[in-house]
A and B are shown apart, each in its own frame.
Chain A
Amino acid sequence: MINRLKVLRAERGWSQGDLAERLEVSRQSVNAIETGRYDPSLPLAFRIAELFALPIEAIFVSPSKGDAS
């Protein structure tokens, strides 16, 4: 799934490791989500949204809406 995780993380100056620590997941998980290789579960998507204080749809692009740009 296309998402803005890398941009949001970069805006805060966090490394993948920093974000992984805040989400209590592995760095591989963050990398896999950022590169679209893994779609997080709903609970993890909510954790991500709460961490960035944004609605889920501001981070993850609905597959039916296609391109993030």
Chain B
Amino acid sequence: MQKRNPAQQRYVVRFIPTMFSYVLVLFAATYLIRFWHPTGIALAALAVAPSLPLLGVIAIMGLYLVEERDEFLRQRLVKAMLGGLAVLLAVLTVWGFLANGGLTDQPPAFLAFPLWCGAFGLVQCGMSLRDRLTSSTAT
């Protein structure tokens, strides 16, 4: 496995604790809303709390794009992000029209980011596979 460059190392150091905090905040907020039954500002604060670490993840991804000095890796990342965006738009467009026809519920907006992350990851896997099939071996 190839050694991570400094930008990748910073990305991992930022990403892992942020995702860990997301899981903690999500469980805590869900638990408190369900069993404490808050109202007003407390409810709004608890409802929005899980989104904050995800906003952090978006910022961390953006920072990595800015800090990555390797132009090829940066270009690959942008391509994968755009591919993920295309998948997200396609899925939500079809889902939205299905919902308009009364066949499903409207797509929950909070799913947009996780869905994009999944699609982004799949596109990266596809790109890696294509590279492996078309690249010469390291000599």
Chain A residues in contact with chain B, CB under 8 A? 6, 10, 15-17, 24-29, 31-35, 37-38, 40-41, 44
Taking a contact as CB atoms under 8 Å apart, the answer to whether A27 and B138 are in contact is yes
CA distance A33 to B135 in the complex (A): 10
Taking a contact as CB atoms under 8 Å apart, the answer to whether B134 and A15 are in contact is no
Taking a contact as CB atoms under 8 Å apart, the answer to whether B71 and A41 are in contact is yes
Chain B residue total in the interface (Cβ 8 A): 14
Count A-B contacts at CB 8 Å.
47
Taking a contact as CB atoms under 8 Å apart, the answer to whether B139 and A16 are in contact is yes
8 inter-chain pairs at a CB distance below 8 angstroms, sorted by A residue, are A10-B139, A26-B5, A29-B71, A29-B72, A31-B131, A31-B138, A37-B134, A40-B71
Taking a contact as CB atoms under 8 Å apart, the answer to whether A29 and B70 are in contact is yes
Q: List chain A residues, Cβ under 8 A from B136.
A: 6, 31, 34-35
Taking a contact as CB atoms under 8 Å apart, the answer to whether B70 and A26 are in contact is yes
Chain A residue with minimal CB distance to B69? A24
Q: Looking at the complex, which one of A15, A17, A24, A32 makes contact with B72 (CB distance below 8 Å)?
A: A32
